[in-house]
Amino acid sequence: MNDDKPHPSSGSSKRTWAQKLFQAFNGEPNTREELVDLIQDAEHRDLIDIDTKEMIEGVLDVAELKVRDIMIPRSQMVTIDKNQSVEEFLPIVIQTQHSRYPVVSENKDHIEGILLAKDLLAYGFHLVDEPFSLEQVMRPAVIVPESKRVDALLKEFRSKRYHMAIVVDEYGGVSGLVTIEDILEEIVGDIEDETDEDESRGDIRRISAHRFNVKALTTIEDFNHYFRTDFADDEYDTIGGLVAHSFGHLPEIGESVFIGELNFKVTAADRRRIQQLQVTLPADDK
């Protein structure tokens, strides 16, 4: 007996998550909120996994961010003075293990250029006969305003092939710096390499300039010490208990609430308690 129905090809059942997500959309979303709801629904129905969902949401978040929201603040910038000798600034490079350093004169408002740590190798291995000159090896500094959109900056990073930009305020003063890694971490989460300290077992872990993962069982005392807050611990011992009280109910994953100036988003929970929180600080804080 012949079957007139077409047989599916062997590859038709192996659809990509993007194809599955597209099929999950019943009509086009009209707002960002509707799009986020569709993405979350696709994850609930196992059309995409949670990592893919969070990455898509990260892309959507980046589209709404300005450079000031993710930059490394001026106070945390590690710089090298152009008048320092190699012997003077090399311990800074060894201790911090960054790949790029702003070179300044007088103070951080006077950026002369960017030093790439890898450019020191040729002199360290005596591959260059001439004496070391910071002015000769440093690269031009890219300057961007605080108000620049993050997605636009990412496009520039990729097209012009630079990895760090100095951020200035409306008066031209240096307010911080931003790297391509800072942007990518907003999309995919913390990017760790072999030089990063192992904080996987810690209760509080930084994932970007203003965003942290915090275990709900972190004591309020430890939370206050880390973030320099003054939340009362007379009624609740843990930050998870304080957040649950602020909601007024046991929140679901994805719900968020402000306590003071801090935004607390539930990233893991079961039917009984909150397990993990994402804490976002104001842009001008730590």
Pick the CATH number of 204-280 from 3.40.50.300, 3.30.465.10, 3.40.50.720, 3.40.1160.10: 3.30.465.10
Domain boundaries, the chain: 29-64, 68-187, 204-280
> Phi and psi (nearest 5°) for 127?
-85, -10
Alpha helices in the chain (DSSP H): 17-24, 32-44, 50-62, 67-70, 86-96, 121-124, 134-137, 150-160, 180-188, 220-227, 239-247
- List the single range of 154-158, 197-201, 235-239, 262-266 with lowest mean pLDDT: 197-201
Comparison of pLDDT for 18 and 38, the residue scoring more:
38
Half-sphere exposure of 131 (CA within 13 A, CB side): 2
- For the residues 46-71, what does the mean pLDDT come to? 83
**Token pair of 273, please?**
């308690």
Q: Provide Rg for the chain, Cα atoms.
A: 24
Tens digit of each residue's pLDDT (9 = 90 or more) over 222-276:
999 999 999 998 888 899 999 999 998 888 888 999 999 999 999 888 767 888 9
Q: Is 204-280 in the same CATH topology as 68-187?
A: no
Quick one: how many helices (H) and strands (E) in the chain?
A: 11, 12
Q: Check whether 203 has a pLDDT greater than 60.
A: yes
Q: Check whether 10 has a pLDDT greater than 50.
A: no
Question: Whose structure tokens read 């000159």?
Answer: 133
* pTM, entire model: 0.57
> Is residue 170 helix, strand or coil?
coil
**Token pair of 142, please?**
């890219």
- pLDDT at position 265 is 93
Tens digit of each residue's pLDDT (9 = 90 or more) over 74-125:
888 889 999 988 888 888 888 788 889 999 998 899 999 999 988 888 776 5
- pLDDT at position 191 is 60
Mean pLDDT value across the chain: 81
**Token pair of 22, please?**
């597209």
CATH dotted code for 68-187: 3.10.580.10
What strand order describes the sheet that includes 211-215? 204-206, 211-215, 274-280, 262-269, 256-259
Which residues lie across from 177 on neighbouring strands?
A: 72, 166
**Token pair of 182, please?**
């800072």
- pLDDT at position 72 is 86
